[in-house]
Structure 1
Amino acid sequence: MTWWPGVEVPATLRTGLGLDPTLLCPTQNKPWKKLKTVLKYSPFVVSFRKHYPWVQLSGHAGNFQAGEDGRILKRFCQCEQRSLEQLMNDPLRPFVPTYYGVVQRDDQAFNQMEDLLADFEGPSIMDCKMGSRTYLEEELVKARERPRPRKDMYEKMVAVDPRAPTPEEHAQAAVTKPRYMQWRETVSSTSTLGFRIEGIKKADGTCNTNFKKTQKLEQVTKVLEDFVDGNLGILRMYVARLEELREALENSPFFKTHEVVGSSLLFVHDQTGLAKVWMIDFGKTVALPDHQTLSHRLPWAEGNREDGYLWGLDNMIRLLQGLAQS
């Protein structure tokens, strides 16, 4: 999701509008009447989404504003600011949006960064959230400190799988946040492949964020094949870009010393044959204690802070290579 670039969809496509992505990407379960009502009272979205289609993949459309000179304003987050500042002097710089610092607009702070879609004509966009978990260890610890049953998370759970709650949870019509957070990862390809598709918007305007239960390799492969419309040239460009990214990650001092959670890869291509991938969404990227590093490939066990980012990237590259060779 969590940006335009990403974008916390359902919940890596990732703002003061606060619109649910399913309203911007209506499905059969979200009638157009409801969408029209939203747009009627949010005229900004109509013009903004025309020029910035990644907004449709974001669960936080109100976090973004159009900047000047091909730039985007994203609501200020100190974690993201620190990460982007450091990444400007890291081997990963070519793979992240250029950062232009903090600006103020209407008494609100924004991180100003490059609009990654500026060079594309009618692009197709995909957000993939990377890693074997999408919550920080600290979030899990805090949630356990006050494990009160929550009806909203129960409703989210049964919307995906009515059989998921235990009999006790059904009786309470509520689940605790730790339970929900850990269950959520098990139903998507986050747990099986180390990444999950958050949302896709194709050049023809079709938009889909309904990937919460896309878990099996065959399912993910079909979605990716459809995203590129079987275009082998685009597939090969994506593979080459991801292989370059992997090399940069393995040589990045920043990556070795940070836990990268909730970050997405933004895939963009258009009819001209241009195809790029960038890392986006660093709101949950945190520095490790001094002298600690991560492999980003080892399985996560609570306390080791491993995020599975490279494990997911390895799987993604193999999957796309297979498609490109088939």
Structure 2
Amino acid sequence: MEPRPQAGGHEGILIFRRDKVLKRALPCELNFYTNLFNPNNQIPILLEFQKFVPKFYGSQLIDGSNYIVLENLLWEYENPSIMDCKIGRVTWTRDHSPPRCVTQQLRASKTTTSSLGFRITGLLIKDREGHVTDSIRKKQVFDITPDNILDYFARLVIRDDVFQEEVVDQFIMETQEILDWFRKQRVSTFFTCSVLYVNGFNKAQTKFIDFSYVYESDGQRDTNMIEGLESLINTWEKLKMKYAKSYYL
């Protein structure tokens, strides 16, 4: 099977099988998807959340590791470019070891996690022929700042030297729908989740992914996610103001 590039996350945790992808998962993520897509789930706020995440097809044990079987979000997209944005100023949890918490806090302080409430963890750009023309990996996220982040966002939505205003509008609308859900939900608190933007030459989409750390809420709003999503939308809006109707080469 030909390996597929990842925009973010840890290398080697994904197995692609046509319209499905197998992801090596922590127990929390498996439990989250299992409960969310349980046929007996009758909680309206959770049923509404299903449309924002990849479809779930169960789990599979491979070489002693548990994999969740999910919808392949890149399937039927023509040479898609992708950007992964990890949401929230706080990316460490009660399940992280003290040294890991320190590492996460240090990474946050050196990236836009602390300043903007999110950071780009991966970016992969393809041309019409499917060749990778641009990408960033983990170490390069430290080069992204509030002053230059629009340049990275622009790489995803400038195709053939044309600024795709309609795609930006779609990304803003779909991210706003996720934000609206978070503003009203009180059932869960999320950490280290991401918004994944996919921009193919035939269509685009926005999905909320990565659920390794999800906890029952104490009835409070998940301000960590809310503030990060608000900042993400604000960044798209700034990009639109900078480029819309004025990008000509």
**TM-score category, normalised to shorter length:** 0.7 to 0.9
Task: Mark the runs of 5 or more structure 1 residues left unpaired by the alignment.
Answer: 1-43, 144-175, 298-307
Question: Match for residue 41 of structure 1?
Answer: none
- Separation (CA, whole Å) in 1 of partners of 2:64 and 2:119: 36
CA drift of 1:65 comes to 1.5
Structure label with greater radius of gyration: 1
Q: Pick closer, same or farther for the CA change 1:250–1:119 going to 2, 3 Å.
A: farther
For 1:136, what is the secondary structure of its paired residue?
coil
CA drift of 1:267 comes to 0.4
**Alignment counterpart, residue 136 of structure 2, candidates 199, 208, 224:** 208
Residues 16-46 of structure 1, C-alpha deviations (whole Å, 9 max, x = no match): xxxxxxxxxxxxxxxxxxxxxxxxxxxx5xx
CA drift of 1:138 comes to 4.0
Q: Pick closer, same or farther for the CA change 1:76–1:198 going to 2, 3 Å.
A: closer
Q: Within 5 Å, which residues of 2 pair with 1:159-308?
A: 178-204=101-127, 205=132, 206-209=134-137, 210-216=140-146, 218-229=147-158, 230-252=163-185, 256-272=186-202, 274-288=203-217, 292-297=218-223, 308=224
CA RMSD of aligned residues (A): 2.0
Question: Match for residue 31 of structure 2?
Answer: 82
**Larger % of helix: which?**
1
Q: Within 5 Å, which residues of 2 pair with 1:56-205?
A: 57-67=7-17, 70-88=19-37, 89=41, 90=46, 91-139=48-96, 142-143=97-98, 178-204=101-127, 205=132
- Separation (CA, whole Å) in 1 of partners of 2:94 and 2:194: 18
Q: Pick closer, same or farther for the CA change 1:295–1:215 going to 2, 3 Å.
A: farther
Letter in 2 for 1:129: K
Residues 95-151 of structure 1, C-alpha deviations (whole Å, 9 max, x = no match): 101111112334543111111111211001000000112111342xx41xxxxxxxx
CA drift of 1:81 comes to 1.2
CA drift of 1:280 comes to 0.8
- Separation (CA, whole Å) in 1 of partners of 2:66 and 2:103: 32
Letter in 2 for 1:201: L
Letter in 2 for 1:137: R
- Separation (CA, whole Å) in 1 of partners of 2:192 and 2:145: 18
CA drift of 1:92 comes to 1.1
For 1:199, what is the secondary structure of its paired residue?
strand
Task: Mark the runs of 5 or more structure 2 residues left unpaired by the alignment.
Answer: 243-249
Letter in 1 for 2:36: L
Residues 56-113 of structure 1, C-alpha deviations (whole Å, 9 max, x = no match): x24523222223x611111142100121123335211111011111123345431111
**Aligned residue pairs, count:** 223
TM-score (norm 1): 0.63
- Separation (CA, whole Å) in 2 of partners of 1:265 and 1:215: 18
2:196 touches 2:208 (CA, 8 Å); kept in 1?
yes
Q: Within 5 Å, which residues of 2 pair with 1:19-38?
A: none
Percent identity between the two aligned chains: 25
- Separation (CA, whole Å) in 1 of partners of 2:210 and 2:152: 22
